[in-house]
Amino acid sequence: MAGYMVYWRTYWSDTDGEFPPPAFWSTDSQVFHSKVNPGDRIWILIPAQHPMHDQWRLLGRVYAKEREPEPRSSRWGRYHIAGDPERSTFYDPARQPDFTAILLLLQFESQTPIRVIGPQIGKSFQSHGHRTLSDRDIVLLEEYGAALERIR
């Protein structure tokens, strides 16, 4: 099973901080949509709430259940991945420290780590809509998530 990290830039304005978010992911990247298989994990990165815009939070992990076969328009993207709500986990972003140090430890499948800090970290996810995680990264994220306060 593969793991991916995605960036939800507009989380706070899209949800008004509503917890927990639904277990799904939408994207405009057909490439990403076609890569995700049932059982894959999608880790969601969000910026910290204003005024800490230079910090990061781990929102959660969505276990992919199925890809919707036909694209349909939505404000979050045309391609949709339904998650398994029983296996997906979300963390309270208001009750966690800055996630930057963990982000800088990730190597990704490409062996190209993040080399920027602050708000520019989000840009490293925008070109393809995701980054594929290495097995080592997945273990690190699972361990990190185990120490966070879960919403669901």
Q: What is the span of the domain harbouring residue 104?
A: 3-146
The model's pLDDT over 56-72, given as tens digits with 9 standing for 90+, comes to 999 999 999 999 989 89
Residue 30 within any structural domain of the chain:
yes
The model's pLDDT over 100-148, given as tens digits with 9 standing for 90+, comes to 999 999 999 999 999 999 988 988 887 677 999 999 999 999 999 999 9
Taking only Cα atoms into account, the Rg of the chain, rounded to an integer number of angstroms, comes to 14
Residue 151 within any structural domain of the chain:
no
Residue 126 within any structural domain of the chain:
yes
The first and second tokens of residue 105, run together, are 């430890």
Say which DSSP state 49 is in: S
CA 111 to chain centre: 19
Number of domains in the chain: 1
Question: Per 3-state DSSP, what percentage of the chain is helix, strand, and coil (rounded to 5)?
Answer: 25, 25, 50
